[in-house]
Structure 1
Amino acid sequence: MNQPLDPDRIQAALDAVHRAGIPAAFAEIRDGDDVFSGASGIADLDTGAPATADMRHRVGSITKTFTAVAVLRQVEQGHIGLDTPIGHYLPHLVPGDRGDAITVRMLIGHTSGLPDYLPHAYPSLAAFPRIADTTPRSLEDHRFTRFDPVDLITLGVKAPATRAPGDRPGVYSNTNYLLLSQLLEKVTGAVAEQHITDDVIAPAGLRDTELATTTHIDGPHPRIYESWFGMFDPPRDFSVFDMSWVGASASAISTVADLNRFFGLLLDGRILRPATLEHMRRTGPVISFEGTTLDYGLGLTRKDVPGRGAFWGHDGSVWGGGAISMTSADGGRQVSLAVTRQRWNPLDANGKPQPHPIDKALADLYALAMS
């Protein structure tokens, strides 16, 4: 049985996340006309400023849903073929047999077999660390490094494939979405971030959402703190960071209210045609960065909640910040949440992340919010 919103219990669960070690957590939870909007903790550990639920924040890979929608809108207009090989559009980036085998659909759904470029960027560009055998110094070294997306795509395309194109389970990869951003630029003639803003974000009325690879966030926002598995102790402020390392894959800025509005409109069929939305909802197994199995469609993940049914949405993280936005299949319950610390789990002697009290506190909050 669906439970009505209990603001006191939700606030207590948010407070528990803060007490477990998250500097700030904030959420908007909607159930029909009932809305909980609240926060817990400190937005800036230097000044002690409190967090508020209307703050703007980096949403990481939730960006992928916006990018997927922009591509699918071009599919609806006949400018992109969902099952057309990417080599037809971008032969210089994915040449030969691989370009002929990998379709646009495979890129959106992470079944292309193209690996993520990040593990391969470390030896090539000294850009980002490997968890088990490096220090996080490169995060500091590259706060203001401007990356060319074509260079990053090239690293992913040249690396050994994770799967044959179309094989399951798929493997989650930012390379796929940087290629989709290049595809959008090819067919629209506009920079991908600007096109997504003009074609998806603005028409949806998302006044506090932007897609930009800038280093700073404008407007009221919390500072975000990266632990990098205990290597930053105390966690280090990474609020300022050049986001060109992920581009249209994970560089969006939004609010919890805007996220609920976007997914509400999308899943209600007011951004894409019903038939296109059904393509987004055709899911299969995809292996995440953390090694878990996602039930992934085309830019959407599915989570089944006992007693409530399916929820649809996405989550994401950047250095220091994380967010999740999920909407029930019937549209009745929406949950958007942001936190201002990431990778809090310490590593054991084998480099495996260990449990942390934050894990349980967040799981309890999710369970309450989606019940």
Structure 2
Amino acid sequence: MRNPLNAAALNAALEDVHRAGIPGLFAEVRDGEQVWRGAAGVADVATGRPVTADLRHRVGSITKTFTAAAVLQQVEGGEIGLDTPIGRYLPRLVPGERGEAITVRMLINHTSGLAEYLPYAYPSLKAFPALADTGPQSLDDNRFTRFHPTELIDLGVGAPAVGAPGGTPGVYSNTNYLLLGELLHQVTGTTAERYITRNIIERAGLRDTELPTEPYLHGPHSRMYEAWFGMIDPPRDYSVYDMSWVGPAASLISTVTDLNRFFTMLLAGEIVSPSSLAQMQRTVPVVSREGRTIDYGLGLHPIEAPGQGTFWGHGGTAWGAGALAMTRADGRRQMAVAVNLQRWNRLDASGRPQPHPLDAALAALYRVAMYG
């Protein structure tokens, strides 16, 4: 299983991704005491400012692992029951029979059957996932919109169900994690953002990680370019954006170093107890936003690496920003990668994203990072 870091191969793989079309990307790979950090390309296409490996970045749904861990902490303290119906805690938000049928666990592992609210909050995405019929106008319209989580939850809960509670495969839905944020608020008496900041981010010593309360990023960061499947050409910068549209589901700002530190501590049983971690690693089949069926636990997703065992972590996207953080089960080998372009694939006549050289280049980078 031992596969020491190959800095030359990692640098080459990073440059290949940049040449394939990402304006800028940066990464940190660790193997025991060995640490490699690298960056390729630019943080600003207008000025040519280079990316560096220490930049802060919007990391999207990697936020879900933080939120899931916060809920598990409250389960350990006896304030939340993992298999208790959500309607016992939030009867107004998930009323009636659904509130009694959907458990906290089903929210965390996306088997609640609750629909995604995003197409309803962003009107030009209403055809999602029939992407050929959508446009980017809502991205601009909502750049500074301050959403309240309960209005978004109401959209998701009010939409037609995508499955029966507890049924598999589940369907990935941000509605689940906004509800978990409201659950944390209900049982802790403080907002999910404040609870996660105090009990996850600060406790883990993550100095460049935050859940934002305003549209701006502070500290060194890249611009973040959204292509929306070629409909925004050239891609536009959406680094300034009010992330209340995803809140505790996907609003986190972090660095590749902080992400690796967080997942190291999580898999070592230092964020939640070993028994809670075991619960997080119990997976079920879930249909991802891209339409693929993946294994998904409680805020964790596994990847099997040939000859290297299982890696655990999460990926995430925001408008213009993407990230993936994966750590091997023994905590020794890990990678965190961030890119400043999203939705680079063009669409075919049926609205399906077409293969792009970036897909293969990123897959090659991940292979080199995880197992050489």
TM range (shorter): over 0.9
Q: CA deviation at 1:129?
A: 6.7
Helix, strand or coil for the counterpart of 2:42? strand
Helix, strand or coil for the counterpart of 1:294? strand
Compared CA separation, residues 142 and 129, structure 1 to 2 (3 A): farther
Q: CA deviation at 1:2?
A: 3.5
Matched, 1:346 2:352: no
Matched, 1:241 2:250: no
The aligned runs of 1:55-94 (5 Å cut-off) are 55-94=55-94
The answer on whether the counterparts of 2:144 and 2:242 sit within 8 Å (CA) in structure 1 is: yes
Helix, strand or coil for the counterpart of 2:120? helix
The amino acid across from 1:247 in the alignment is: G
1:67-123 Cα shifts (integer Å, max 9, x gaps): 001111001001111111000000000000000000001101101000110123345
The amino acid across from 2:340 in the alignment is: T
> Which residue of the partner structure matches residue 28 of structure 1?
28
Task: Supply the distance in 2 between the matched residues of 1:367 and 1:339 (Cα, whole angstroms).
Answer: 16
Helix, strand or coil for the counterpart of 1:49? coil
The aligned runs of 1:29-178 (5 Å cut-off) are 29-123=29-123, 130=128, 131-178=131-178
Matched, 1:216 2:191: no
1:175-218 Cα shifts (integer Å, max 9, x gaps): 00000000000011111111110111100000000012421100
Q: CA deviation at 1:239?
A: 0.8
> Which residue of the partner structure matches residue 330 of structure 2?
330
Q: CA deviation at 1:137?
A: 1.1
Task: Supply the distance in 1 between the matched residues of 2:250 and 2:126 (Cα, whole angstroms).
Answer: 16
Matched, 1:230 2:230: yes
Task: Supply the distance in 1 between the matched residues of 2:160 and 2:40 (Cα, whole angstroms).
Answer: 44
> Which residue of the partner structure matches residue 251 of structure 2?
251
Task: Supply the distance in 1 between the matched residues of 2:35 and 2:294 (Cα, whole angstroms).
Answer: 28
Farther off after superposition, 323-332 or 131-140: 131-140
The amino acid across from 2:299 in the alignment is: G
Q: CA RMSD in A?
A: 1.1
The answer on whether the counterparts of 1:129 and 1:135 sit within 8 Å (CA) in structure 2 is: no
Helix, strand or coil for the counterpart of 1:354? coil
Q: How many residues align?
A: 369
Compared CA separation, residues 58 and 122, structure 1 to 2 (3 A): closer
The answer on whether the counterparts of 2:114 and 2:175 sit within 8 Å (CA) in structure 1 is: yes
Task: Supply the distance in 2 between the matched residues of 1:134 and 1:251 (Cα, whole angstroms).
Answer: 23
The answer on whether the counterparts of 1:21 and 1:358 sit within 8 Å (CA) in structure 2 is: yes
The answer on whether the counterparts of 2:66 and 2:200 sit within 8 Å (CA) in structure 1 is: yes
1:111-150 Cα shifts (integer Å, max 9, x gaps): 1000110123345xx6777422122111111111111111
The answer on whether the counterparts of 2:125 and 2:134 sit within 8 Å (CA) in structure 1 is: no
The aligned runs of 1:309-324 (5 Å cut-off) are 309-324=309-324
Compared CA separation, residues 195 and 129, structure 1 to 2 (3 A): farther
Helix, strand or coil for the counterpart of 1:10? helix
Task: Supply the distance in 1 between the matched residues of 2:275 and 2:3 (Cα, whole angstroms).
Answer: 31
The answer on whether the counterparts of 2:119 and 2:125 sit within 8 Å (CA) in structure 1 is: no
Task: Supply the distance in 1 between the matched residues of 2:253 and 2:282 (Cα, whole angstroms).
Answer: 27
Task: Supply the distance in 1 between the matched residues of 2:127 and 2:89 (Cα, whole angstroms).
Answer: 32
Helix, strand or coil for the counterpart of 2:286? strand
Farther off after superposition, 214-223 or 129-138: 129-138
Identity percentage over the alignment? Answer: 65
Normalization by structure 1: what TM-score?
A: 0.98
Helix, strand or coil for the counterpart of 1:304? strand
The amino acid across from 1:85 in the alignment is: P
> Which residue of the partner structure matches residue 271 of structure 1?
271
Task: Supply the distance in 2 between the matched residues of 1:132 and 1:182 (Cα, whole angstroms).
Answer: 34
1:37-56 Cα shifts (integer Å, max 9, x gaps): 11000011111111000000
The answer on whether the counterparts of 1:114 and 1:176 sit within 8 Å (CA) in structure 2 is: yes
Q: CA deviation at 1:271?
A: 1.3
Task: Supply the distance in 2 between the matched residues of 1:359 and 1:230 (Cα, whole angstroms).
Answer: 15
The answer on whether the counterparts of 2:126 and 2:134 sit within 8 Å (CA) in structure 1 is: no
Matched, 1:179 2:183: no
Task: Supply the distance in 1 between the matched residues of 2:238 and 2:126 (Cα, whole angstroms).
Answer: 14
Task: Supply the distance in 1 between the matched residues of 2:271 and 2:61 (Cα, whole angstroms).
Answer: 19
Structure 1 residues without counterparts, runs of 5 or longer: none
Task: Supply the distance in 2 between the matched residues of 1:358 and 1:343 (Cα, whole angstroms).
Answer: 11
Task: Supply the distance in 2 between the matched residues of 1:195 and 1:214 (Cα, whole angstroms).
Answer: 18
The answer on whether the counterparts of 2:132 and 2:349 sit within 8 Å (CA) in structure 1 is: no
> Which residue of the partner structure matches residue 294 of structure 1?
294
Task: Supply the distance in 2 between the matched residues of 1:214 and 1:268 (Cα, whole angstroms).
Answer: 33
Task: Supply the distance in 2 between the matched residues of 1:314 and 1:249 (Cα, whole angstroms).
Answer: 12
Task: Supply the distance in 2 between the matched residues of 1:134 and 1:27 (Cα, whole angstroms).
Answer: 32
Structure 2 residues without counterparts, runs of 5 or longer: none
> Which residue of the partner structure matches residue 283 of structure 2?
283
1:198-250 Cα shifts (integer Å, max 9, x gaps): 11110000000001242110000000100000001111111111101001100
Compared CA separation, residues 210 and 128, structure 1 to 2 (3 A): farther
The answer on whether the counterparts of 1:91 and 1:99 sit within 8 Å (CA) in structure 2 is: yes
Compared CA separation, residues 127 and 363, structure 1 to 2 (3 A): closer
Task: Supply the distance in 2 between the matched residues of 1:235 and 1:253 (Cα, whole angstroms).
Answer: 21
